[in-house]
């Protein structure tokens, strides 16, 4: 789908190493919406104390701009490893205030829009080469450590050698500082995670969340991984960042089969 120049300022098209013709994936940007103040302008989250009427207008704009085949299946994200299969019935029944608690969703049904909301955490987009299955996962460091990526792969029917992955906008490795306990938790889980952490000051490390995701994907045999060159914290004109400003909006990360 081609977007007008005006609409392009509100969306980032997500690409894979080999793009199936019927897979569509986007991340929303912060411009072109109806929210104001710290949520300016295109907040898609209903749980961050933004004016709900503005959020509703933004969600209507989202559906119209991208010609979405259905309302996105919004999730109640809790930094877990929970993955759900969504189908037409769930997508049609779900209202703007009725949400399912999970941090990733998978579908093989055309016209069902999988979605996660982010503002520094990593959105992981997945599809198979034949364009018959898609998924998206919300992977902050807690979700990554819990195994949300592996659980999403396990929830998909496609074998890992048939999968394509694109890493969407997340906080970059030059600014994402974590405590020693976070670093140690990942290293204790897998020694291969150690290079994703660089000491910054006593008891603190810069964390490369993109690298952590790539290490996990590579460990289970996923080779076709693109993306991972954004920084939500530094690119303030394009993305929301919870680390930069806690009272802020959320980007929507969407994927569906046409």
pLDDT digit of tens for each residue in the chain (258 aa)? 678 777 889 999 999 999 999 999 999 999 999 999 999 999 999 999 999 999 999 999 999 999 999 999 999 999 999 999 998 667 667 655 467 899 999 999 999 999 999 999 999 999 999 999 999 999 999 999 999 999 999 999 999 999 999 999 999 999 999 999 999 999 999 999 999 999 999 999 999 999 999 999 999 999 999 999 999 999 999 999 999 999 999 999 999 999
Rounded (10°) CA dihedral 136, 220, 228, 85? 0
Predicted confidence at residue 98, as pLDDT, reads 60
Predicted confidence at residue 79, as pLDDT, reads 96
Distance between first and last Cα of the chain? 10
Predicted confidence at residue 6, as pLDDT, reads 74
Q: 5-170+221-257 has which CATH code?
A: 3.60.140.10
- Which residue has 């295109």 as its token pair? 42
The DSSP code sequence of 3-32 is PPHHHHTTEEE---SS--TTEEEEEE-SSS
The span from the CA of 29 to the CA of 10, in Å, is 5
8-state DSSP, 73: B
Strand residues in 57-196 grouped as ranges (E) = 75-76, 83-85, 100-101, 104-107, 114-118, 122-128, 134-139, 163-167, 177-179
> Under a CB-based contact definition with an 8 Å cutoff, are residues 158 and 133 in contact?
yes
**Domain segments of the chain as ranges:** 5-170+221-257
The span from the CA of 85 to the CA of 108, in Å, is 9
Sheet holding 163-167, edge to edge: 83-85, 104-107, 134-139, 122-128, 163-167, 225-227
Q: Cα–Cα–Cα angle for 52, 53, 54, nearest 5°?
A: 90
Q: Cα–Cα–Cα angle for 226, 257, 81, nearest 5°?
A: 60
> Under a CB-based contact definition with an 8 Å cutoff, are residues 149 and 217 in contact?
yes
> Under a CB-based contact definition with an 8 Å cutoff, are residues 28 and 13 in contact?
no
The span from the CA of 107 to the CA of 25, in Å, is 13
């Amino acid at each position: 789908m081609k977007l007008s120049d005006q609409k392009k300022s509100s969306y980032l098209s997500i690409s894979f190493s080999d793009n199936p013709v019927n897979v569509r994936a986007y991340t929303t940007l912060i411009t072109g919406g109806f929210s104001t103040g710290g949520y300016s302008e295109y907040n898609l989250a209903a749980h961050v104390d933004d004016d709900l009427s503005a959020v509703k207008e933004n969600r209507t704009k989202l559906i119209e701009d991208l010609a979405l085949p259905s309302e996105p299946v919004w999730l109640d994200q809790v930094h877990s490893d929970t993955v759900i299969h969504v189908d037409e019935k769930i997508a049609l029944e779900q209202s703007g205030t009725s949400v399912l608690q999970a941090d990733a969703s998978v579908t093989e049904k055309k016209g069902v829009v999988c979605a996660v909301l982010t503002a520094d955490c990593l959105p992981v987009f997945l599809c198979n080469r034949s364009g018959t299955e898609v998924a998206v996962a919300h992977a902050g460091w807690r979700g990554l450590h819990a195994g949300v990526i592996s659980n999403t792969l396990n929830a998909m029917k496609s074998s890992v050698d048939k999968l394509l992955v694109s890493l969407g906008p997340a906080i970059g490795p030059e600014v994402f500082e974590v405590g020693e306990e976070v670093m140690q938790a990942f290293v204790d889980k897998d020694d291969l995670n150690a290079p994703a952490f660089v000491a910054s000051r006593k008891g603190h490390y810069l964390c490369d969340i993109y690298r952590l995701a790539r290490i996990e994907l590579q460990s289970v045999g996923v080779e076709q991984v693109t993306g991972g060159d954004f920084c939500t914290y530094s690119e303030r004109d394009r993305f929301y960042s919870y680390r930069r400003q806690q009272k802020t909006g959320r980007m929507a990360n969407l994927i569906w089969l046409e």
